[in-house]
Amino acid sequence: MTVTIDQLEDLGLLFGPAASLLRADRQNDILAGVGQTPREAEVTAFMAASDGALEQALIRSFCQVWGIEPACGLRLISGKAFGKETGQTDHRSIDLVVKIAKDDDGRPISRPVIAIEAKFAAMVNGKWGYCPQHLGHTDRRYSNQIICYVNGCTNSLLDEGVGFVWLGLPSKVPGQPLWGKKAINPNDGLEDAFVEQTAATQRWRMLTWPSLFADVDNIAANSDVRDAVLRALGRGTRA
């Protein structure tokens, strides 16, 4: 059986309006496993469009990293959508946010619980003058995603109260952080930024793609559906 975005929407595993944004993204070919491998951006778009059992499995996986019992009513959205909802669109975005979507009276809110950066083999983004926000008092400081994402630089609501998850490929060196040599290293001549990064590292927890795949492995009784979803999440291609 060939599984499509429309079918996943009918099965309640993708959220209609968000799922419609996926169609142009080669997602049906990826689901069918006809040689297309998903890019990072396509995988995060797929996760942001998740609904029902798939969305809840992803949320559970992200919450487990921080030992948080996932309360009902949590939703997973893109960092861009979170920026829009919270009126902060002029910054970079982290990939995904798990949020409390309603207050006790059922009114819609956007209270973040977990924020996720999802990486395959890409470098940790960073450069001189990367962040005008938290290092803004000087014009050209070196900074990167590890530092800025946990310091409220992408969104002022993504700060101390939020659990940050780095979703990455398993490290080849046991015990090494998933960003490995892609982050700032002691011999890079970036002492200040290295100190900042070392502090920021304490705020991140790691989740590997294979762990995530294991956590979503039971989202559907139909194995074709499961396999298609896992392909869309990148299993068997890069991770």
Q: Which residues, 6 or more positions from 37, have their beta carbon under 8 angstroms from its beta carbon?
A: 30, 234, 237, 238
**Under a CB-based contact definition with an 8 Å cutoff, are residues 155 and 104 in contact?**
no
Cα 71 to Cα 10, 33, 152, distances in angstroms: 25, 34, 24
Work out which of 20, 37, 64, 133 binds Zn ion, going by CB under 5 A.
133
Q: 169: which DSSP letter? A: P
Is position 94 an interface residue for Zn ion (rule: CB under 5 A)? no
What is the C-alpha to C-alpha distance for residues 133 and 226, in angstroms, rounded to an integer? 41
Is position 153 an interface residue for Zn ion (rule: CB under 5 A)? yes
Min dist. Cβ of residue 133 to Zn ion (A): 5
DSSP lists the bridge partners of residue 112 as 99
Is position 193 an interface residue for Zn ion (rule: CB under 5 A)? no
Min dist. Cβ of residue 202 to Zn ion (A): 16
Cβ proximity to Zn ion: between 27 and 145 the closer is: 145
What is the C-alpha to C-alpha distance for residues 219 and 92, in angstroms, rounded to an integer? 32
Min dist. Cβ of residue 151 to Zn ion (A): 5
Is position 131 an interface residue for Zn ion (rule: CB under 5 A)? yes
Min dist. Cβ of residue 69 to Zn ion (A): 31
Structure tokens at 195: 């100190």
Work out which of 13, 148, 157, 167 binds Zn ion, going by CB under 5 A.
148
Min dist. Cβ of residue 132 to Zn ion (A): 8
What is the C-alpha to C-alpha distance for residues 180 and 63, in angstroms, rounded to an integer? 23
**Under a CB-based contact definition with an 8 Å cutoff, are residues 112 and 81 in contact?**
no
What is the C-alpha to C-alpha distance for residues 77 and 95, in angstroms, rounded to an integer? 9
Min dist. Cβ of residue 65 to Zn ion (A): 23
Is position 39 an interface residue for Zn ion (rule: CB under 5 A)? no
Work out which of 26, 39, 102, 134 binds Zn ion, going by CB under 5 A.
134
Stretch in the footprint of Zn ion (CB under 5 A) among 74-82, 101-109, 126-134, 161-169: 126-134
Number of residues that bind Zn ion (CB under 5 A): 5
**Under a CB-based contact definition with an 8 Å cutoff, are residues 92 and 154 in contact?**
yes
Cβ proximity to Zn ion: between 129 and 189 the closer is: 129
Residues in contact with Zn ion by the rule CB under 5 A: 131, 133-134, 148, 153
